[in-house]
Amino acid sequence: MEQTFIIIKPEAVRRGLVGEILRRFEAKGLTIARLELRQITEATAREHYAHHADKPFFPGLLRAITAGPSVLGVLEGPDCIRHVRNLAGATNPLEAQPGTIRGDFANELPYTIVHASDSPETAQAEIQRFFG
């Protein structure tokens, strides 16, 4: 059974979208294996986004992900990573298709509503980073 890691980001929590986002994952047939509401620290955010540290948008990413509590989760199911990425939609809200989470709810970068791991290796590293 494949697993993936998600973050329902602070702007989605603040806007009351957690239930709708989780409903979409469950409607696809994915199982919630773990779920936790937590404030992401700046240190953890820096580690999580280290691959973007040299980019000009890095400070905005840090501010967005640490702005309030996030819902961290592990989802599982067949081809879970691909399903979650498809449901999330394109990272840039202007490119995300209607019907996707970002297409329906995100307005601008870096406020992308959700994070979804992009590979089995990344998923396992992120699950370990956030859940130990």
Model confidence pLDDT, tens digit, residues 43-100: 999 999 999 999 999 999 999 999 999 999 999 999 999 999 999 999 999 999 999 9
Counted domains in the chain:
1
Query: What domain range is 127 assigned to?
Result: 2-131
Q: Identify the sign of the CA torsion 88, 107, 22, 57.
A: positive
- One of 48, 51, 83, 115 is an active-site residue; which one? 115
Mean pLDDT for 3-26 is: 98
CATH of the domain at 96: 3.30.70.141
Annotation marks residue 48 as catalytic: no
Record the pTM: 0.95
Q: Return d(Cα 5, Cα 34) in angstroms, integer.
A: 9
